[in-house]
């Protein structure tokens, strides 16, 4: 056996243990870092070919791997913008240069621009609801933008959808065509009336008078007027005709609606409200209203935000209404433990990790988002201290091998003297 080879083997062992101690030091230093994934040093042999009767010692080489796929414990907080992932997936963030990356560190707060930024300065990305319900771009980052919440901005939401559920009395008298509300005469008659509040594009309140009038057996007229056009104290005649007219036809046996059950109401100064009347019945009972709802809201500021477990960021306004602003996606790769680890507790693709796939929380392959919680480091301090002691002992043993080789080399040199 070569004395030089023995000494090189000892150096190889010391270097390997030094690498292991380096990962232990990193793990202990980041044991309180949210979303940190512990590093570990893996050893593999380095064999040098030997000949008959002579053995050449090789050495050891190391590979550092990170336990990225191992979930850390969740710690609950009082901030709704603290986010954790329960299960698989990563938040998509970007740096100041706009470069996207992945992270499990979800300690987000609002900055001066209203953007959600974590402790390392990376901005959370999401899909906006500005152009409708978002869909994830499965194989890339297109469509993502920084989640921005401006709490001082006044926002008005126009009405677009509504629901009315109730009962129309079976024994209501039939009203002649000349006296129907649709004729808009001073002596108009009707079987039942209700009113609904809707909102225009600028948040202006619009009162809608809804008249239900029996025109024949099992058939009713629905007429909707703008309250602002009503005659003082009498309602009829309105200064302009009905905003919309509809017909409801009921099954004589079940009292349930047949045929069309929706009417589209053009709200003055706003959008068209689709009013769902599918839950209206004609039974032998009085006029009843079980449910009356129209969406939209007057101008108000954002009072707080809520984040659901499927990643939807809602703004709650002063009037108590909610509006979806963004949906936070999750990203994943085929081999998370092979992701490249960068400063700031972030990860990027590597040649062996596989391509990034993006989807929403709760979908196949993705976990759920927990608001008001943070994922702790997955470092076990007791295990790291044990590894540190073991590495120290092994380093000492390898140094003894090197020292012995050095002593033998000195003895060999002194033989000539």
Q: 269 and 190 in one domain?
A: yes
Same domain, 319 and 392: no
Is 372 part of a structural domain of the chain? no
What the block records as the tokens of 119 is: 């402790």
CB 269 within 8 A of CB 202: yes
Find the CATH number of the domain harbouring 246. 2.60.98.20
Percentage of the chain lying above the pLDDT 90 cut: 69
pLDDT at 139: 84
Q: Does 47 or 193 have the greater pLDDT score?
A: 193
Q: Tell me, yes or no, whether 232 and 265 share the same domain.
A: yes
Nearest C-alpha neighbor of 19 from the set 391, 342, 341 = 391
CA distance 191 to 387: 84
Q: Do the domain assignments include residue 169?
A: yes
Q: Are residues 210 and 271 in the same domain?
A: yes
**How many domains, in total, are found in the chain?**
3
- Give domain status of residue 401, yes or no: yes
* Distance (Å, whole) CA 275 – CA 222: 11
199 with 264, same domain?
Answer: yes
Is the pLDDT at 366 greater than 90? The verdict is yes
In this prediction, residue 289 has a pLDDT band, given cuts at 50, 70 and 90, of: very high
> Which residues, at least 6 apart from 160, have a Cβ–Cβ distance to it below 8 Å?
271, 272, 273, 274, 295, 296
Of 291, 292, 318, 290, nearest to 304 by C-alpha is 318
Given a cut of 60, whether residue 1 has pLDDT beyond it is no
Same-domain status, 163 and 249? yes
Question: Per the domain annotation, does 371 fall within a domain?
Answer: no
Contact 67, 104 (CB under 8 A): no
| The pair of three-digit structure tokens given for residue 126, joined into one six-digit string | 């999401």
From residue 271, alpha-carbon distances to 77, 134, 184, 194, 208 in Å are 41, 21, 24, 21, 14
- Provide long-range contacts, Cβ within 8 A and 24+ apart, for 386-392: 387/20, 387/24, 388/21, 388/24, 388/28, 391/17, 391/20, 391/21, 391/24, 392/17, 392/21
The pTM for the full model equals 0.70
Residues 382 and 355 in one domain: no
Q: How far apart (Å, rounded) are the C-alpha atoms in residues 122 and 105?
A: 10
* DSSP conformational letter for 371: E
Identify the helix (H) or strand (E) that includes residue 415.
helix 381-415
Average pLDDT over residues 230-249: 91
- My answer on whether 266 and 195 are in the same domain is yes
Indicate whether 199 and 259 sit together in one domain: yes
Integer distance in angstroms from the first to the last C-alpha of the chain?
Answer: 23
Query: How many C-beta atoms surround the C-beta of residue 160 within 10 A?
Result: 16
407 and 327 co-located in one domain:
no
54 and 35 within one domain: yes
Count the helix, strand and coil residues of the chain and give each as a percent rounded to the nearest 5.
20, 40, 40
- Computed over every residue of the chain, the mean pLDDT equals 90
Please say if the pLDDT value at position 368 is more than 90. Answer: yes
Burial label, 42 (beta-carbon count in 10 A; 0-12, 13-18, 19+): exposed
Structure tokens at 327: 């949906």
Q: Does residue 300 sit within a domain?
A: no
pLDDT at residue 83 is higher than 80: yes
Q: How confident is the model at residue 416 (pLDDT cuts 50, 70, 90)?
A: low
Evaluate if residue 417 carries a pLDDT over 80.
no
DSSP SS3 for 24: helix
Of the pLDDT bands very low, low, confident and very high (cuts 50, 70, 90), residue 149 is confident
Residues contacting residue 416 through CB under 8 Å, at least 6 positions apart: none
Average pLDDT over residues 201-216: 94
Q: Which structural domain range is residue 189 located in?
A: 159-295
pLDDT value for 155: 78
Residue 46 confidence (pLDDT): 82
Q: Are residues 194 and 244 in the same domain?
A: yes
Radius of gyration for the chain, computed over Cα atoms and rounded to the nearest angstrom: 36
């Amino acid at each position: 056996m070569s004395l030089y080879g023995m000494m090189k083997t000892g150096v190889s062992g010391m270097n390997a243990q030094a690498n292991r101690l380096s990962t232990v030091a990193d793990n202990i230093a980041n044991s309180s870092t949210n979303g940190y994934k512990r590093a570990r040093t893996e050893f593999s042999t380095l064999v040098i070919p030997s000949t008959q009767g002579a053995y050449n010692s090789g050495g050891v080489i190391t590979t550092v791997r990170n336990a990225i796929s191992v979930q850390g414990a969740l710690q609950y907080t009082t901030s709704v913008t603290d986010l954790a992932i329960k299960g698989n997936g990563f938040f998509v963030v970007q740096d100041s240069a706009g470069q996207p990356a992945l992270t499990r560190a979800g300690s987000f707060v609002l900055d001066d621009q209203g953007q959600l930024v974590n402790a390392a300065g990376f901005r959370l990305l999401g899909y906006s609801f500005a152009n409708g319900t978002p869909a994830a771009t499965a194989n890339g980052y297109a469509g993502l933008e920084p989640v921005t919440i401006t709490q001082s901005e006044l926002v008005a939401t126009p009405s677009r959808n509504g629901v009315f559920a109730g009962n129309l009395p079976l024994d209501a008298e039939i009203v002649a065509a000349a006296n129907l509300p649709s004729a808009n005469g001073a002596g108009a008659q009707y079987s039942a009336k209700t009113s609904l509040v809707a909102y225009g594009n600028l948040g202006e309140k619009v009162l809608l008078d809804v008249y239900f009038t029996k025109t024949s057996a099992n058939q009713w007229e629905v007429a909707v007027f703008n309250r602002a056009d009503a005659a003082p104290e009498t309602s009829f005649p309105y200064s302009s005709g009905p905003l919309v007219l509809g017909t409801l036809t009921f099954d004589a046996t079940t009292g349930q609606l047949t045929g069309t059950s929706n009417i589209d109401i053009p709200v003055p100064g706003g959008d068209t409200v689709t009013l769902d009347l599918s839950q209206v019945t004609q039974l032998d009972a009085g006029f009843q209203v079980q449910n009356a709802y129209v969406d939209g809201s007057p101008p108000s500021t954002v009072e707080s935000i809520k984040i659901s477990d499927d990643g939807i960021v809602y703004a709650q306004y002063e009037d108590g209404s909610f509006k979806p602003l963004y949906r936070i996606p999750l990203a994943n790769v085929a081999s998370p433990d092979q992701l490249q680890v960068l400063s700031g507790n972030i990860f990027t693709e590597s040649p062996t990790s596989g391509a990034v796939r993006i989807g929403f929380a709760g979908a196949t392959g993705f976990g759920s988002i927990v608001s008001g919680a943070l994922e702790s480091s997955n470092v076990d301090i007791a295990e790291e201290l044990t590894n540190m002691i073991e590495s120290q002992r092994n380093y000492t043993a390898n140094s003894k091998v090197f020292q012995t080789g050095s002593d033998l080399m000195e003895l060999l040199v002194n033989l000539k003297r």
